[in-house]
Structures are given as structure tokens and as C-alpha cells.
Amino acid sequence: MPVAVPRSVFSGHSLLDARRSKMQLSDSVTHKNGRQRKVTAPQENMRHADYICNTTLEVEEALLQGPDNEDNGHPKVVHGIKGELGNVALLLFLYVLQGIPLGLAGSIPLILQGKNVSYKDQAFFSFVFWPFSLKLLWAPLVDALYVTRFGRRKSWLVPTQYLLGLFMLYLSVTVDILLKSEGGKGPDVITLTAVFFMLSFLAATQDIAVDGWALTMLSRENVGYASTCNSVGQTAGYFLGNVLFLALESADFCNKYIRAQPKATGLVTLSEFLFFWGMVFLVSTTLVAIMKKETARGQHGRRKVREDTQSVMETYKLLVSIIKMPSVFTFCSMLLTAKIGFSAADAVTGLKLVEAGVPKEQLALLAVPMVPLQILLPLIISKYTAGPRPLDVFYKAFPFRLLIGLGYALLVWWTPSLKEEGGFPVYYYGIVLFSYALHQVALYSMYVALMAFNAKVSDPVIGGTYMTLLNTVTNLGGNWPSTLALWLVDPLTSTECQGAAGQSCKSPVEAGLCVKEGGACVTTLDGYYVESVVCVVIGLSWWLWQGKRMKRLQDESPAAWKCRIAQ
């Protein structure tokens, strides 16, 4: 970053995971997503993978600096951004397209929750959000395999976006059937998960290709705009696919704020929305394939450095070499377990609020006023993480985020008592918004601190691969506890059949018999509250046991984080 609105409104993981997975040193001479460049031949007594860890990647630096230093012997001419507005607009559009499937995938859990699916089904669907956290695993393939005549980045971008469009068109025809609940059968969660997982996987692959293309599409003086296009475009795409869609799909929202005459449906349906964006993907990809060329010369006729890619196996050996370092291995182990304490609050709270009757579109809209805060928080927090001990901020924010998780549990418990005939009072949404704002402060404090520490310890020689590896582990450390938390809600929940003697509610079939006999299934113990308490206990234990140990990693010498040549 990066379940849907629960993950965006209550944790920020959906987009945060996507952004974190591509964060790297601002002055890094390596490509994003673990992509590396060839270097000169190693000495005979050096093992190749270990040599890579210690060799300056000069070709990569030339990629970012060479084209502007001279053009056939002539001094460089700075043309400014005006000459490259077309490329900036294209990058922005490609990142917007990337955010659309992410936003749509984020809206599905809330739609499923309105159809009373089990939390095990929600846990199964949560695997949809894993690809952006794991894209480092196949990024070397995207970087190394391509058709030279067609273009290095277009070789992956064009087929990936065509597939995204085709999957959306397929879903536009089948999604209503997949979501229907007929004859006691719920939505087809397995097929939905498979299709949306492919959408997420393809979006992550498109992201790898666009990231690489951005570094060569723009000249050196303007390459900084690539990160702006990424942040703005992906956020805008997620907003369109999630917040805007949920609002326009809601009949209540449209009747209340848009229409003069009420109707039973919203302005758009999910199938119509998918069809529209599927066509946008197909048409725009065709135009890019035909009209945008990957030439051997940059803007204004400047030459471009040839991109020589090291082999796929060399890149994977490099990753293994980094992980085997004791300091890195210890740090990664901590990253994989640090977020267990937040999993119930992050993954389940939003779904529980929907279950309690809070309109899903209202929850989605609460993310809008948080955008300025999410922009300002990193700027403010970075003042405290810029020094030699950024993890101190992480350590201090940790218990506050745990307490906010308990506050979420109290909010969920309080919500049903506030429900009125016309919905919920305005002050209730104010309380939810305030709770969300507090959560964002704690979340971004930990997020910025980790990013600062990752940048601090990453070996600058291989900064791109190093940081992307750490960010991948950080994302994975948030994904697996969230999936597990969703999976355990149902087993930890106790229900009993009241009003029908001899019946139980241990399974959907038994619950149906209970209702058929005139009874009702009543929850006597909600697994969400059990998880909330257990997670906080685990989180506090981690903080007391591992928190100080993580802080001590800041005292390690710089040499402990650098790759070494094997003797």
C-alpha cells in the first residue's frame, strides 16, 4: 500500500501498499521494482551474485544523466516541462487506468457484505489485494523479457492493458450473476476472487512497465514528474473505481443528492461501470500501441542510453544475497509480525459497520476529506524521521494505533444503538471521521518512519532492489494478518437459535432450519470483539518484546546493512 473501504477508510492499505511497494531512494541509480542493470565483468575470484552487491551501476546513472549532458557533442539544452507535457499527460493517464481496477476490487467486499457472505468468504477475497505487495517476485521477468522491435515497455504494457479490458468486459456480462444470491446460495466468491485477482495482478504488472517507461519517457530534468503522475493518477483512479462508483451505484445516495425524482436504482450499475472502463482500456491501449513509439532518441532529438538488463537469475541471486544478511533477516522477521496487533481493526471494522447498517457509499465518501490530511501528514512527520533514529517515531506511535483499534471496537458496538429510521445522525459520521483521522495520524507516523529507515539502511549501490525488497516484506506483513483476521471471525463467533427448541446455528444449513422452525439466530459472542482484544494483547506483547529490539537496529553500524564480497 494496500479489503476495500475497510482498507482505505480504516487503514489506508489499498493505495498505501501500492505506493510503498515502489518507494525507493530519491537519488537511487537503480530501477524500481528490483530491476537492475548490467555492470562490467567481475574479477575472477568474485562470485557473481556477491559482486553485484558491491559494484556501482554506472550504466543506470547514465540512463538518468547521460542524455542531457550532451547530444552528439553539443551541450545540453534545458527545454522545461512544456516540451514534454504530452508524455506527462500519458503517464498520468496510465496511472489513472491502473487505479481503476484497484478501486473496483476495493468496492466488492462492501457489496458482498450487503449480501451476507461469511467472513471466511471475505478472507478468501482478500487475496485479491496481495499482488501489489508481491510484484517484486515477477518484476525481473517484466524487465528482462520483451520484443525489441515493438518496444521494451510496450511489450508488457499493451497486452497487459488489453487483458485488463477484456477481463472487465467479461465481468460486465457475468458480475450480476456472480453476485446474485438465489436458492439459499450466496455469491460465487471463488470466481469473483479469481477474476479480480487477475485484475490486480495485471494492474501490478502494468505498474512495473509504466514505472520503467517513466524513467526513459521523460528527460532527466523532468523525470521527477513521474512520481507526481504516479501519486495523483493512481489516487484519482482509485477514487473513480471506488468512491465515485459506490456513490453513483447507490440508489439512496442518488435519490438524496442527485435526482429530483427517486428511483429504485443508482445512476450506474456495476456491470455498466465495468463495460465502460473495459472499452476505455481497449481503445486507449490501441491508440498507445499505434501512436506512441519507443524510439532510440529522447525528446528534442537527444540520444538515449541503451538499457542493458542483467539476467533474471542474477536479479534473484541479488535478492537472496540481501535477505541472507543478518541485520536484514532480523528486520524482515520483525516486519512480518509487527502488524498482527492491527489486523482486526484494519481488516474487519469497515465490514462490521456495513453489517450494522452504515451505508457503504457513506463510508467510502469519508475518505474524501482525509485526502488533504494524507498529503500533509508525510510532510509533517518527515521532520521527525529525517534524523538518525526514525524508528523512534514508529515505536512511539505503535501503542496509540493499538488503542485506536480498541476504539474502533467500541464504535462498532455503539453503532446499532444510534441507527434511526432515516439512517444515522450527522454527529455519528463526525465521530467516525474523527476516529479515522486519529488512525491516519498513527498509521502515517509508522509508515513514514519505516520508509525513512528503509532509505537510511538501503545500500545506495543497489538502492532500488534493496528498498523494494524491504517494502515488499512490509506490505506482506500487513496482508497475511488481515486475511487471517477475516478468516477467524466466524470460528470465534458464537450463535444460538432462540425460539426453536433443539435447533442450532452452527452452519448456514442449521441456521436455515432454525428460521424455518420459527426461531431466530442470535449472536451471543461476536468474534470481532474477541479478535480486537486478542490482537491488542498480541500487539502490546510485540511492542514490549520486539519494539525495543527493532529500535536497537538503528544502532547497527552502516557496514551491517551493506552487501559484502564473499571471501
Q: pLDDT band for 82, please (50, 70, 90 cuts).
A: confident
Neighbours of 358 (CB within 10 A): 23
pLDDT tens profile 322-332: 888 899 999 99
Grid coordinates of 225: 514528474
Residues 6+ apart with CB under 8 A from 545: none
Q: What is the mean pLDDT of the chain?
A: 80
| pLDDT score recorded for residue 297 | 43
- Do 303 and 297 meet the contact criterion of CB atoms below 8 Å apart? yes
pTM above 0.75, yes or no: yes
Residue 458 scores a pLDDT above 60:
yes
- Do 547 and 395 meet the contact criterion of CB atoms below 8 Å apart? yes
- Amino acid at residue number 419: K
pLDDT tens profile 192-243: 999 999 999 999 999 888 888 887 888 777 777 787 788 888 888 999 999 9
Please provide the DSSP assignment of 436-461 as one string.
Answer: HHHHHHHHHHHHHHHHHHHHHHS-GG
Q: In the 8-state DSSP scheme, what is residue 126?
A: G
Residue 66 scores a pLDDT above 60:
no
pLDDT tens profile 109-142: 999 988 878 899 999 999 999 998 888 888 888 8
Torsions phi, psi of 497, nearest 5? -90, 115
Residue 316 scores a pLDDT above 90:
no
Residue 67 scores a pLDDT above 60:
no
Integer Cα distance of 298 and 79 in angstroms: 12
Integer Cα distance of 54 and 396 in angstroms: 35
Integer Cα distance of 104 and 180 in angstroms: 18
Q: Which residue has the higher pLDDT, 375 or 546?
A: 546
Mean pLDDT is lowest, of 147-161, 165-179, 209-223, 415-429, for 209-223
Grid coordinates of 55: 559494484
Q: pLDDT band for 145, please (50, 70, 90 cuts).
A: confident
Residue 165 scores a pLDDT above 90:
yes
Q: pLDDT band for 10, please (50, 70, 90 cuts).
A: low
- Amino acid at residue number 162: Y
Grid coordinates of 415: 453503532
Integer Cα distance of 241 and 561 in angstroms: 40
